Structures are given as C-alpha cells and as structure tokens.
Chain A
Amino acid sequence: MQHYLDFERPIAELESKIKELRQLSDGDGVNIVEEITRLQAKLDRLLQQTYGKLTPWQKTQVARHAQRPHTSHYIASLIEDFVPLAGDRLYGEDQAIIGGLGRFRGRSVVVIGHEKGADTEERVRHNFGMARPEGYRKAVRLMEMADRFGLPVITLVDTSGAYPGIGAEERGQAEAIARSIETCLTIGVPVICVVIGEGGSGGAIAIAVGDRVLMLEHAVYSVISPEGCASILWRSGDQAPEAAEALKLTAGDLAQLRVIDEVIVEPMGGAHRDPAETMRRVGDAVARGLQALAGTAPAALRTARREKFMEMGRKGLG
C-alpha cells in the first residue's frame, strides 16, 4: 500500500487511475494503452512540479515518510557479508542505532546508522530511531574498533532526536552524545556521513561529524524539530510550517551554509517512489567520498576533519 502525504493528493488520484486502467488493459484495447501513456506523462509532470518546489515543511514530511528507505535497507542493498554487532559493553543493546562490519564496493567498512523501523513491531523494537545512551555508546565502540583496524566508517543519519526519558537521562544521555561527537573527531579513519531522512538535533550530530557530510535532496537536518521550535518561539505547534521555513533545514540551505558537502539528488517524486535508485545514488556518492580520502594519513584526516568544522560559519555568511 502506497502511503500518500497530504500535498500528494492529486498525485494519488492520478496514480490510482493509472493502476485501474492497467488492470483493465489485460485484454485488448489500444485506446486504454494510449490513455495510460497520456496519464503517465501527466503524472510525471505533476511529480516534477510538486517535488521541484517542495516547501521546507513538505520536505520535513517527505523526510519522515514511512516508506522512505531506512538504514537497514541501505545495509541490505549496499553492504555485502554484513555482520551486525550489538551492545555497548556497559549496560545494554539499543536497536535505535544499528551497526556492524561489512563490505562496501569491495572494501571492509564499519556501518552505523539510526533505524526507525518499517512496521509497528519494528518501530517499537527500534524505539522509532530515538537512541538512548547505549546506542551512542555502541556507536563509539564501533568507531573505535574501526579506528583500530583501519576501516572506514559510514554513518547513516535518520532520527527525530535522542530519546527523552528518565532512564536515558539517568544513564547520561548528554555524556553519551558528547562522547560520540568526540570519537567522530578523534578517529584516524575516513568518516562519511549521510543524512538519509531526518537529522534531528543532538541525536543526529552525535554520529554526523565526518570528513564528508552528504545529504539526500529531501532530507532535513535541524537543531530542533519545526514543531518544537514553533511551540517555543511561536507558542503554538500550528506554526510548524513557518518554523520549518525559518530554520533553514533543507539540503539546499545547508549546502549554502556550507554545513554539508554534497546534496544527493533523489529520484523524481522522492526516495520512497524509487528506493533502489535512491540507494544506488547514495552508494555512488559514498564511494566517491571514500575514493577522495583514500591513502590520507590518520593524522591528516583528523586535522582536516576538525578544520572543516572549525571553519563552519566563519566564511561565506551574510
């Protein structure tokens, strides 16, 4: 079942009409084929029009789309011989962040990413991609292991934020996030980060400090959710669309602010319309990033990574 967003209603109508006609066209009927072709062309135009000028709030919805490919899909499609690893060796296993060893285009890597889950059962198991301290501490453990064995790190960012709960606070949510950022900045292997869906605040940046930070076209990355921002600054969650606008959270905005290095263009109509193609494009972009960093000495990688973040906001702003 295709899930449609509010602003996709005209698209939904056309797609269902085409589907109906396709079912009818089993028999004869050149007319029906022609009609389908005509409607398909119309649909393509409509998708182009709609997705060519999504508002920041619409992008936020696309970024959260239930059928958008998640970390587990990327691992299944891009990583061979994947060996999932679990646990922080301190307290528990947090499935909101998954990770492990695997082969990416011929070389062994460590992959770490937030996982939101695809259906209700999975969402509960992965806590909707909202990690607790154990998730970040597992990420730290995997990054340190990557460093020891000289394996590049690929992180996939997709979270509405770190989990706000009593246990999470009790066990040092803030410290866990801080330590994860610190580890990103100290390891001497290439780190490529891709914001594939939602980049929600501290919970996102905890694993998003890399040599290259890439972002899908309709992904969002922000210091606070539009809803949260609206409820604080506008005193009403209804103003979320305005807040989304003001926060400059789209890939285009972030590229302009030089916070990300590259925007990965999504297939027409968003990643959820063609997950396979989306993942291929992400794979290509990650491979290019790794290629560019290949052979760089650990110390040089570290220095350049820190410099990159140190330079942020110093140049190119009005």
Chain B
Amino acid sequence: MSWLTDLALPKIRDLVRKTETPDNLWDKCPSCEQMIFHRDLEAAMYVCTHCGFHMRISPKMRFKALFDEGEYTTIELPRVAADPLRFRDRKRYSERLKEAQAKSGEKDAMIVAHGTIEGQGAVVAIFNFEFMGGSMGMAVGEAIVAAAQLARLQERPLIIFSASGGARMQEGILSLMQMARTTAAITELREARLPFLSVLTNPTTGGVTASFAMLGDVQIAEPGAMIGFAGARVIEETIREKLPEGFQRAEYLLDHGMLDMVVARSDLRHRIALVMRHLMDARPGEGDTLPQPANDPQASAKQAR
C-alpha cells in the first residue's frame, strides 16, 4: 500500500483540500460536517447555521459580542511564579507554558475585562480553552480572585465563562488549592451581596466545575456543553458500562436540577443583562434602568400605611 499512499494519496488529498476550503471561505461544522460560509459563521457567533452546534470561540470574540458596542477594558492580571514545582513529564512544563504563550499571545488561560452589558456595568472573566485546555493553575486562580475583587470594588456583578479540563496537573497541589482560593473569592462576593453568574461552556470539567463554577447565583450553560466532575472515560473504566445518551451535556444537567437555564449563544447577552438587572434592582444606588423601590407607587402606598 505504501507506493499507493506515496503516489496517489497526496494528489487526492490536494484535490479534496481545494474543494473543501477554497481560500478559507468555508468552514466545516465538526458536528454535522456541513459546510458553512465563513462570513455567515462569524455572523452567527460560531454557531452552526445548519445544526445549531456551538463551536468554541475565543475570549476576545465573546467580549466583543457581550459588551455594549463591543467595547471593554481588560485588566492587568497579577503575576504568578511560573512552574513552581519545576515539573517535567516527557517535556518541561516551562516549555509547554512558553509554547502556549507564544501560540496565544496571552500569559495564561484567563482574561478579565469590565464594561457595560445593555447599559449595566459588569466584570467578566473568560477561560481560553485553547491555552492548555483552559486548565486552572495559579494564574487562573489569581485572575478569578482579581476579577472578584474588581467586582466588589466596582460593586458590579461578576460573570465567569468557564471552559476548562480542570486543574492544571503540572502545578500539582498548588493547582488543587485554586479550588479553595476561587471559592473563597466567590464567597466574599456573595457576602457583599453581588451577583455571580456562572456560564458553563463546552467543556467544563474537574476542579473548575467542583469549585466556583457550580456556585453561581444563577447557573447558565450553552446548548450541548459537556459539563461534569469526572471525565467520561474515567467513569466508563470505573463502572465498566456505556454511558447513557446525552450524559453530562448541558440539557442533562438542566434536567437534573444543576442549571437554571440552557441559553443559545445568540440570546446569551440579553439573558445575562436581564438577570443582572433583576438581581441588582434592590441595591441602593443602582436601578437606573428599572424604577427604584421608593418610586414604586405600591411600595410608597405600603409605607404610607
């Protein structure tokens, strides 16, 4: 077969490649495998126009789609000790980290920004799954702590978009400790009575799910997102059974009471704004967009009595 592979296949491959993606104008849906015109896909925020599959999008695209006029300010994140364990498997962690940084142009797997969503201020933190599988090490932990602090300072809601394989193994126990640190950050936000909206996107698993990501005042997920604690393979190996259809998908979690809603990407911005508006309504100094309780005729009627 080797002569055939060498001679015939490259030619066939070239042919296929040319027809599949002429000048990168077309993208293929990884779910239904249909071709989508690139500009259409962009306009649909990377949701397949044929089957509705939600593809992964970069934090930048999300920020743009979420904030008013696509305008926002990213914040400088605290520096952390790189490679504290001097971890080495088949490759050095410091090398893996440098490669991921060079490829993404980012320091680590989380970006934090603030701006307005339908006129309301919010702090938004987004995982970049492309950066080492969105794994949570010290940098991500510090980013979440910083985002929660900023939310408290600005007295605004915090929204975290998760997409993560879990804790970053190469930072060992220090990555596990981020579960406690991020939970502490959310606890303090809760005590300050500021909303935390957790938006789970594909995939969110392991130590990220088992800490802050499941502690939202309101839990939102994108359709079809894989969300769970243990990985499907680990479960299958443990119980030696095939997993049920749709197991650990957003809709499954909704059915089991773990989420408030599954929201299509196109509706996400408006739904988030609505939830924020309600949760911030009774807060003193807020409520520019909805009437204050004191101005509410029913409320003043009660006071008069």
Contacts and interface: CB of A to CB of B under 8 A. Distances in A.
Report if A and B associate in a common complex: yes
Interface of A: 162-166, 168-175, 177-179, 181-182, 184-186, 201-202, 205-206, 209, 221-224, 228-229, 232-234, 242-243, 246-249, 253-254, 257, 259, 306, 309-310, 312-313, 317-318
Contact of B81 (A162, A169, A318): A318
Nearest to B175: A223
Contacts of B138: 313
B89 A234 contact: yes
B176 A205 contact: yes
B206 to A, nearest CB: 7
Given A172-B257, A202-B210, A164 B177 contact: no
Given A186-B187, A233-B89, 16 more contacts: A165-B238, A166-B241, A169-B228, A173-B228, A177-B211, A178-B212, A181-B210, A182-B183, A184-B180, A223-B167, A228-B234, A247-B85, A306-B188, A309-B180, A310-B181, A318-B81
B182 to A, nearest CB: 9
B41 interface: no
23 contacts: A162-B229, A169-B235, A170-B256, A172-B214, A173-B230, A174-B228, A178-B183, A181-B210, A182-B186, A185-B184, A186-B187, A202-B179, A223-B172, A223-B207, A228-B234, A232-B169, A233-B89, A233-B90, A233-B169, A248-B173, A257-B84, A306-B188, A318-B81
A237 B174 CA distance: 23
Given A202-B207, A246-B85, A310-B181, A166 B239 contact: yes
Contacts of A310: 145, 181, 184
B136 to A, nearest CB: 10
Contact of B229 (A169, A232, A242, A312): A169
Nearest to B188: A306
Contact of B177 (A184, A185, A224, A259): A259
A185 B84 contact: no
B89 A164 contact: no
B256 A172 contact: yes
Interface stretch (B49-57, B242-250, B292-300): B242-250
B215 A182 contact: yes
Interface residues of B, number: 56
B88 interface: yes
A313 B85 CA distance: 11
Contact of A223 (B80, B86, B173, B212): B173
B258 interface: yes
Interface string B125-149: 0000000000000100100010000
A122 to B, nearest CB: 20
A169 B176 contact: no
B258 A202 contact: no
Q: Which 5 A-B pairs have the closest CB atoms?
A: A164-B230, A174-B209, A233-B89, A317-B81, A174-B229
A177 B229 contact: yes
Contact of A205 (B145, B180, B235, B248): B180
B87 interface: yes
Which of B210, B213, B215 counts the most chain A CB atoms within 10 A?
B210
Contacts of A246: 85, 87-89, 172
B214 A175 contact: yes
Contacts of A201: 167, 176, 207
Given A166-B241, A222-B173, A257-B173, A202 B206 contact: yes
B230 A169 contact: yes
Interface string B249-279: 0000000111000000000000000000000
A222 B184 contact: no
